[in-house]
Structure 1
Amino acid sequence: MPRLPPFLFWLTHAPREPTPIIDADRHILLVLGGQPPNDLEWDTAVAEKAADGMQAAAIEIYTEPKWRRKASLAEDAPRRGSHAAKHVGAAMGGGQRYPQNLAHGVRNLAVFAGLFGLKALQRIAGWTNLLFMVFAPNLHEYYRATYAALCDWDRSQQRKKHITRNFAERFSVFTTATFNFGPVTVTLPHIDFGNLAWGWCAITALGNFDPDRGGHLVLWDLKLIIRFPPGSTILLPSAILRHSNLTIGPNETRFSFTQFTPAGIFRWVYNGFRTDKDINAAKATTPAEHEQRKRDRASRRQEGLKMYRKWDGPVQ
């Protein structure tokens, strides 16, 4: 585990008190979402059921022994960690000509369909969606409208396979999800540079571990360590904040479920369903349009910042 930087602040993530973290200009930078305040059965009916579902799925996918030695320490190692993980949903990048669902075998697709069909996971997605709408309504709408435009375009194309949502739109506006199957999900310090720079990623911690002794979220640039109990959700700009989590105890398990939308999908929709390469190579693209695109890129960060809600409540 990397050595922690000095002067870290420890935050207690109260499970039933959604708490915004604001910057110097009172923008809501991230949200400690916790759990629905009035749902007293969340731990048993949702968190435990979702963890059980992920464990059963991992056994089915990797056919044991302990997820095939953490999936041969392969899929996300060494950048994020040596735990077993699978990414599911729409993606754009790596030479793709257009956005499409990540490829999986028929057997794994059936396992993922079972996971997304779990009522417990749908309730987690629904709670995450509500947090997103409340604490960043403009950013949430940007995600919703982009995904809707992508799906409308995709349905108009003549091809055998089309983009399918992980959840119904009422549950989630994110195109993509990652199941970090663990069984000991301890991530290394990293940024998710493939995500939208000002966008949010939703992380839900699951498993059987003592949150007072381990599993904390570390935000290295903010010098924060945040208690992160099973069944709770945090939304953060994972493309700009370096993050990791602390180790857990022996014989404990930790999974996590993350939702996000790759930056390449936003770029594709913004470009009118074309890649930058297609636009730059097109003879129909005029010099004036090229210059306008340069100006748009230069101002995009400020336009993104405008999507952050400013906190009007008391600062604790």
Structure 2
Amino acid sequence: MGASEFMVFAGSASRNLGRAITDRLDIELGSSEVLHFSEGNLFVRVLENVRGRDIFIVQGTAFPANDNFMELLFWIDALKRASAASVTAVIPYFSYAKGDKKDEPRVSIRGRVCADAIAAAGADRVVTLDLHTPQVQGFFNIPVDDLYSLPVLCDAIAAHNFHDLVVVAPDAGYAKKARQWANRLQVPTAIADKRRVDHSETAEIVELIGSVEGRTALIVDDFTISAGTLVDAARVLVDRGATTVYAAVSHALLTEAANERLDDSPIECLFTTDSVETQPTKLADKVQVVSVAGLFAEAIHRISARESISVLFE
């Protein structure tokens, strides 16, 4: 599919991933610029003619989440006002997907608010990666393709040929997804029973369902912020006889304290994707980043060619 039929741009939160995607597609990344004014305002400008083109704008929403989300909206609006035939928002990490329910009085369903804003700005479609919960797709009144990083991460893990591997879910809510990991890797599963009592980004591991004794344990989750749950689970697994502990998450949002916590933990290596590239500090040496550029490139190619992308979910 040639550049004359679709174009890919990248916002300031996903420049590296945008370049990696266009390298896979063998096209040039669209030219654009972002200006940051002293009072905090953003100004975005598309520097190429996009009239009549199908446009894909790659922009994650992490670190700083609010600035990057607003920038995404401005890109969508700028591209629509420049007469793009269609605008697809490619959101490697959709941060406010965590706000997916009203589980206490007088709170906002933040994911729904953001979905409405993306559609109102003019997006025709959304492509994202491992939403916190699949039902967030229902917040949108435009098509949403929620890609899975599981095959990419599983391939990277399988290449290490870990001995007697067992996949561990960090809580009961992730058990179903953990079984998908286990099926892909053809290994058994275990479940850590996690209790979260507030919004402090920390949780307590209170029980382990399943055996890890004498095995290499792989803790899997959709994202980590403080690394607290992963580290607590790792310590429980070591106490229960696991010989080695690894972890894998789709999205790693690690602060300096989280990186230090990871470095001091029993976790040998944390596998993650390049969905978040605006980390506030250098990633810990234990973090191994696996690129999902090929996954997004294939999705963009298929969407632009009006082909099914269901093969990417197998």
**TM-score between the two structures when normalised by the length of structure 2:** 0.25
Q: 1 or 2 for the larger relative contact order (CA 8 Å, sep ≥6)? A: 1
Length-normalised TM-score, structure 1: 0.25
The structure richer in strand per residue is 2
